[in-house]
Structures are given as C-alpha cells and as structure tokens.
A and B are shown apart, each in its own frame.
Chain A
Amino acid sequence: MKMDCLLAGVGGQGTVLASRLIAQTAMSKGFTAHTSETIGMAQRGGSVISQVRLGHAACAPAIPLGAADLIIGFEPAEALRNLAYLKADGALLVSRNPIRPVTSSLGQGYALDEILAYLAQAAPRCVFIDGEALCREAGSGKVLNVVVLGAAAAEGLLSFSKDELLTTMLAHVPAKFVELNKQAFAVGFDHRKYEAEDGGAK
C-alpha cells in the first residue's frame, strides 16, 4: 500500500492528532509512516496542514502537488486552499461548516456557497459531512478530528477497517476521553444516517 493523505484545517481543530492516528494505524499493520505537521505560530487560529505518507520506504515529509490520494478538509476554505495537492483521481472528505476568520468578519467576507460548489465538482469523489451537527450529536464541539476519521472509515477512504482505526484511536487518546471519542467515531461512521434528510453526501 502507498497512500498520501493531506489534512487541512484551522489551528486548534485537532488535525495533528488525526494525522498521527492514521499513521499509527498504518504502522500497526506493518506499513512505514511519515507525517509532517504545522507547529508554531500558525497554530494560533491560522491555516494548518498535516501530511501523512504511508508505505514509502523513505520519503520527503511534504506531499508533491497533485499527488495526494485523499484530502480531509476540516473546514471548506482550507480544503480548497490545498486542492492543488489532490491527485486527478483523488478523493475529498470535507466538513461543510466554515470557521470565519476575523479578517472575514472585519469585512472581507467568506464565499461559502461558491467554495462548497467548487469543491463538489473538484474531484471524482467528494463527500461532505456536517461536522458541526455530528459533533453536537457526539456531545462535544472538540471532537471533529475523530468524527472525520469515523466518516473516512465509513466511506472506505482510508485503507483500514473501522476496527483497525478504532483500536489505534482508543490506544492513543487519554483514558478520560475514551468514551467521548468512541461516541465521536461512531457518529462519524454513521454520518450518512444523521444527514439523510439534507442529502449532503454526494
């Protein structure tokens, strides 16, 4: 297996944990894993990306443009910002809820509908989830990272089974958050059930 996956989001959304969990799951199956994450000033609410490269014996930390098999967008504008990294036949998994930066509230605006429409046609496979509603269902606004992993497992976007991902996740989150994260993963995995009425997933 060779797979390059890029996670794009906003500092504070938990992309680092998600990328580590993907890498750890690959390692538990005997694959090599490399990741690279934004750490530093950008973590303060700026644009961040995490890159996961699986199954390369040795590789550079950053994914080349046009080489990502999967982009997981924790936020629509951040998914679009990194679209150039997606392979022609790559897949997108995007949480549709925007995080409006201060610059946008101060008057710059945020073209949400255009961004979502562009993403919808940008890849042969684009799955939207309502991250906000799913997090609410899971009982916390801070578990989007585990919700998206559940959704990615359900959509078959990662080369791992639900149980493989779940086992890694439970081994790497603090004990007091195990139940919450189990719930978040389950809600993400069943995201189509929760979103059946608005037809969000394409």
Chain B
Amino acid sequence: MRALFKMTWVEFKLFLREPIGAFFTLIFPLMLLFIFGSIFGNEPSELMGGLGSVDVSTPAYIAMIIGTVGLMSGPISLVVYREQGILRRFRAAPLRPVTIIGAQVIIYFLMTLLGVVLLVVAAHLVYHVRLPEAPLAVFAAFCLSLASFLAAGFVLASLMPTARTTQVVAMAIFYPMLFLSGAAGPRQIMPETVQKVSEFLPLTHVNILIGDLWFGEGWSLVSVAVLVGMLVIGGTVASRTFRWE
C-alpha cells in the first residue's frame, strides 16, 4: 500500500513535468472550447433542439479527452517505460505489476478528471453552458468510459514493439474515430451512412453515453454494454499480454 501511494505521488509529479501529456489533458480542451466558442458562439439553435453550439460541444469534448488519455497518453507512456528499461528495473524490486499499472491508472483518472472539471467550469463561466442534469451519473459514465479506453490502450501497448510505432498506430486509430464519433463536431449533421458507421466506434458510445446523461436523457444501455464489453475484454487481454520488456 505504501509502495502504491509513493508510486502514485511520484507519477503525479512526473505527469506535471511532462509538458505534452499535461497539455493534451488540461490545456488543449480549453483551447478548443475558446476557439470554437469564439467562432460559433452559444446562441440557441433550432437544429440542435434549442441548445447552443458550446452546450452541445462541452460533453463531446469530455469524450475527446477520454479518448486522448486512454488511447494515446496511457499506452505511449507504458511503452516508453518498457522501451527504456524502467519496467525492467521496477521488476527487479519486490513490486507487483498491479502497483505499477495501478499508480498510472490513478494518475490518469485524477488528471483527466481535473481536465474535465477545468473545461466544464470554463464553459459555464464564459459561455453559460448548462451544467449536467445528473452530475453523479455523468461522473459514473466518465469512470466507465475512461477505464474502458485505458484497458484498450494497454492492449495496444502490449501489441506494439516501440514507443514510436505506438504513437503512430494510436494516432491512426484515434483521429478518424475522433471525427466520426461526434466528439469533434455534432453527429446530428453527418450523413446517415456516416452515422451508421460511427455506431461501431467505441468513442461514439462515450459521446452518446455522456451526452445523453448530460442533457437528462438517461442511460443509453447499448453504449453501456459496448463500453463494459470493451473494459472486460480489454482488461483481460491486457493483463494476459502484459510484457515487462
């Protein structure tokens, strides 16, 4: 327990010293908010059921942060640890893998949560965005989504040989998914066939799940099922394929 606590504390400090990771989790969503907010404003629109552009985008940006952390930051830093021999050194100490992965997961949860809170507070203060109808349910959906994406990300980390390939493959998976899922722009305006395709992407379900709860439309059970499925399968595969070196 002491080892996990110390490890988490050190990982927290390392996270803050790593500008790229901190930027994409904490700063980048705020940048998007202000850029698109200043372009489109937040005037209620008929097309979006009486909501403003920023109203609709804010929960979608949360999905984007979850995708970035789960599919990019998580696996890339794990592979860097493996590639540089850091896991090898940890392994020579009396440490269980769960302590190393656990500390990382805790930090990703806390930092992603911080990124989300910063985003929502800024959106509310500047654009008077509607806060979620059911904040606890949104928080639960956030936890499920992030856990599920981190599990998939750790599978990716097991499969990839180097940090460089991990980065390339993660980007190749993440960016198309980001734009198709509606996390970067509303799905409602996409052609019907594209919408159909996007239903096969996990990030779409993060977007639907959080968006529905945000606007008081309840739990999308299909999305919950998809994300729980990804968590169970991803978690099992990741723990079976974990490599120290």
Q: Do A and B bind each other?
A: no
